[in-house]
């Protein structure tokens, strides 16, 4: 699995924790920044992560800002991206099993590092359930394509 990660200043420290976890898990990743905790704009990091997942260069993306909200709003503007803001393990699992989320957004000011690590671990190791959920996810794609019934 190839993972691409990014954060703004509000998520910089948690991104470092996630980098450590990915290394422990033996998962290859690319980090698009930011590279220090100085103030930056979260859409500048959400866009390359979302675009490169949408293009198929990476299997999953992980974005971190203060709340996860701005990152998720920006990432979900990219066609093909299903970004879920998650702050508990149950939602992490459901976002994969039911929604086939391909980008995870976390808030450094919302979840502590221990919980964030468990969320990422669950999110990266849970498969999409398919079946009726596949039909529903396909309908999200139809909305993106302007193909409403
Ligand atoms: C930055 O202060 C903060 O607004 C940002 O990290 C994020 O929480 C936005 O949604």
Query: pLDDT tens digits for the chain (149 residues)?
Result: 999 999 999 999 999 999 999 999 999 999 999 999 999 999 999 999 999 999 999 999 999 999 999 999 999 999 999 999 999 999 999 999 999 999 999 999 999 999 999 999 999 999 999 999 999 999 999 999 998 76
> How far is residue 42's CA from residue 28's CA, in Å, rounded to a whole number?
23
89 phi/psi in degrees, rounded to 5: -70, -35
Say whether 65 is catalytic. yes
Q: Whose CA is nearest to atom 3 of ligand 1?
A: 66
Q: Measured in angstroms, how far is the CA atom of residue 70 from the centroid of ligand 1? A: 6
Domains and CATH numbers, the chain: 2-144 (3.40.1400.10)
- Using the atom order of ligand 1, give the atom closest to the CA of residue 9: 6
- Using the atom order of ligand 1, give the atom closest to the CA of residue 8: 6
3-state SS of 120-149 is: HHHHHHCCCCCCHHHHHHHHHHHHHCCCCC
Q: Whose CA is nearest to atom 8 of ligand 1?
A: 66
> How far is residue 81's CA from residue 84's CA, in Å, rounded to a whole number?
10
pTM of whole model > 0.85?
A: yes
């Amino acid at each position: 699995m190839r993972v691409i990660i990014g954060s703004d200043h509000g998520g910089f420290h948690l991104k470092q924790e996630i980098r450590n976890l990915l290394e422990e898990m033996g998962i290859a990743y690319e980090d698009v920044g930011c590279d220090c905790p100085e103030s930056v704009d979260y859409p500048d990091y959400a866009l390359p992560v979302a675009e490169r997942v949408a293009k198929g260069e990476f299997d999953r993306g992980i974005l971190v800002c203060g709340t996860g909200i701005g990152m998720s709003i920006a990432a979900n503007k990219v066609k093909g991206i299903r970004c879920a803001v998650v702050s508990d393990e149950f939602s992490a699992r459901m976002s994969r099993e039911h929604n086939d989320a391909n980008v995870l957004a976390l808030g450094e000011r919302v979840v502590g590092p221990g919980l964030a690590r468990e969320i990422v671990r669950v999110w990266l190791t849970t498969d999409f359930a398919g079946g009726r959920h596949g039909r529903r996810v396909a309908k999200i794609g139809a909305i993106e394509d302007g193909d409403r019934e």
